[in-house]
Structure 1
Amino acid sequence: MKTRTTEHLVPHTVDGKTRMIPIPVEAPAPPRDWDHLVLRGVTVIAAVVLAASVVWSTASIGDLLNRAVIEPAAYGAAIVFDLAWIACMAVEWLARYDDDRAALPRKAGNLALVVAMLAIGAHGKIAGYWEIGIVGALVSALAKGLWTVVLRHQTPPLDARTRAWIQGELADAGASLALIPVRRQLQRAEAQVQAERAAIASPDADPDQSGQSTDDPAADPEPPAAGPMTIKDAVRTALDSGIREPDRVLAYVRKVADANAKADTVNRYIRLAS
């Protein structure tokens, strides 16, 4: 029987103080996990096939596009054909526990693969070797097919109830994440409302009492007060009643709204209402 050396922690006391120290211990070695080794080997093979597919399709499609554009642009665009279905395959793997979410990246990946195969086939036809175009297109199909088999093998089988439970958990987590930006927006909106209210209610500067109007106050009687008013409402009421002189508007505002209203604040509302 094969053995291996491992370390176990045992108590050791020196001068009345005990510590756990590691000591080497011979233990039976577990049997070799051939299933894991085979899966690792298959994954390496799939990675090599995928790399070869990307190189081949990029060279083929790049040569096709190079007939119309410069070489860097042609080969830069050519690699997109394979990266598209590879990315979709990766997203499909991430959504492996939710068939509904995995359906879209699966369809998009198959569509991107077909487009890449058609481009490789077109290059073979234009080059005069349609057989090479067909075989080259099959390289990408084999690479995606192999990775699909490997990923499906590593996906644990789940019954319908377990899948529904997982989807419910993911939905709850998604709702919690979605509430974070919503709460931030609400806080920003409330802060803006409070700042606006504070700006409207706060005085700006001392009033200037000079230059009182020489017009007869009786010519334009003041409108009656209609309950509590803000400075802004009082200014609007005075203007709607025909009072245009800033001093008279200020006097009316101090009478019906705020006895300490500032001239600059009232003048600002007059300009906004004009």
Structure 2
Amino acid sequence: MKTTRTELVPHTIDGKTRLVPITVPVPAPPRDWDRIILTGVTTTAALVVAASVTWSTASIGDLLTRIVIAPAAYGAAAVFDLAWIACMAVEWLARYDRQQAALPRRMGHSALAVAMLAVAAHGYLLGHLVIGIVGAVVSGLAKSLWTVVLHHQAPPLDDRTRAWIEQELADAGASLALIPARRRVQRAHALVAAERAALPSPDQSGQDADDPDATPEPATAGPMTIKDAVRTALDSGIREPDKVLTYVRKVADANAREDTVARYIRLAG
């Protein structure tokens, strides 16, 4: 089978060359039978897993309807197969990290064993133990087939390459873990700054603490506008306009005008 594609080629007329499109035949690549077969096997494995979930849910759901209503029974029954399917998916995601893949592999086998025992127990209670065992084997075959497919698709890695990938993932994980840690540190610093801004500053050295006219200067909390500085001074107990003006010029604007500060004092009052 052949296909075509368009190419630009130079074409000259009267000494003037231009690129003009032409259509050229291109042979189609041969069929990739390996990919076709792998796709078919993967589709078959997916259908087998779907059949396994259907059988297990129907069997275990019928078992649980003896004590609970049907919707709850069949909903819980679906968990038995979905548990090992989810574990198998996590195992596939962790295929480059043997230590991380070990836990979902063990949990998947455990969940599969529980599901198979539940299906077999249903057949035993109905007096059809052989049918129960055969039904349980369906789940085992489904997981085995899917495990074979995933194992075939996983790229083979030598120990050095695998160790290199694990170290790269560890570095990336450390960088990712630092993000919430830095956020917590920034929030802690912000809380400390807010606490310091809210509390009155201690008495300055040499200031008479018994002097009723001595008013402590409020703590600064970073750059302020004139309006914010006036509000901070008033909230800290500074009422004299000249002292408010002095504070504003210290923390907000060294060239703050007296009438501007007086206007903000009136608005705040």
Could you state the TM-score of these two structures normalised by the residue count of structure 1?
A: 0.72
Instruction: Count the aligned residue pairs.
Output: 219
1:204-259 CA distance string (max 9 Å, x none): xxxxxxxxxxxxxxxxxxxxxxxxxx14999xxxxxxxxxxxxx9763793xx837
1:167 aligns with 2:163: no
User: What does residue 251 of structure 1 align with?
Assistant: 211
CA contact (8 A) 1:8 1:25 kept: yes
Aligned mates of 1:69, 1:146 — CA distance in 2: 33
Aligned-pair identity in percent equals: 65
Displacement of 1:127 after TM fit?
Answer: 0.8
User: In structure 2, what residue type is equivalent to 1:190?
Assistant: H
User: In structure 1, what residue type is equivalent to 2:60?
Assistant: I
Label 1:201 to 1:21 Cα distance change in 2 as closer, same or farther (>3 A).
farther
User: What does residue 250 of structure 2 align with?
Assistant: none
Displacement of 1:10 after TM fit?
Answer: 6.0
Q: Secondary structure at the match of 2:67?
A: coil
User: What does residue 135 of structure 1 align with?
Assistant: 134
User: In structure 1, what residue type is equivalent to 2:168?
Assistant: E
Aligned mates of 2:218, 2:188 — CA distance in 1: 30
Label 1:253 to 1:50 Cα distance change in 2 as closer, same or farther (>3 A).
farther
User: In structure 1, what residue type is equivalent to 2:26?
Assistant: A
1:182-223 CA distance string (max 9 Å, x none): 111111111111111111247xxxxxxxxxxxxxxxxxxxxx
1:25 aligns with 2:34: no
Aligned mates of 1:153, 1:95 — CA distance in 2: 15
User: What does residue 77 of structure 1 align with?
Assistant: 76
Label 1:182 to 1:260 Cα distance change in 2 as closer, same or farther (>3 A).
closer
Residue segments in structure 2 that go unaligned for 5+ positions in a row:
220-232, 238-269
Label 1:197 to 1:30 Cα distance change in 2 as closer, same or farther (>3 A).
same
User: What does residue 120 of structure 1 align with?
Assistant: 119
Displacement of 1:24 after TM fit?
Answer: 3.6
Aligned mates of 1:178, 1:198 — CA distance in 2: 31
Q: Secondary structure at the match of 1:172?
A: helix
User: What does residue 104 of structure 2 align with?
Assistant: 105
Aligned mates of 1:100, 1:191 — CA distance in 2: 39
Label 1:64 to 1:199 Cα distance change in 2 as closer, same or farther (>3 A).
same
Moved more, 107-116 or 182-191: 182-191
User: In structure 1, what residue type is equivalent to 2:104?
Assistant: P
CA contact (8 A) 2:203 2:209 kept: no
CA contact (8 A) 1:53 1:143 kept: yes
User: What does residue 143 of structure 2 align with?
Assistant: 144
1:68-91 CA distance string (max 9 Å, x none): 100000000000000000000000
1:188 aligns with 2:198: no
Report the aligned-residue RMSD: 3.1
User: What does residue 218 of structure 1 align with?
Assistant: none
User: What does residue 264 of structure 2 align with?
Assistant: none
CA contact (8 A) 1:253 1:259 kept: no
1:4 aligns with 2:20: no
CA contact (8 A) 1:231 1:253 kept: no
CA contact (8 A) 1:118 1:137 kept: yes
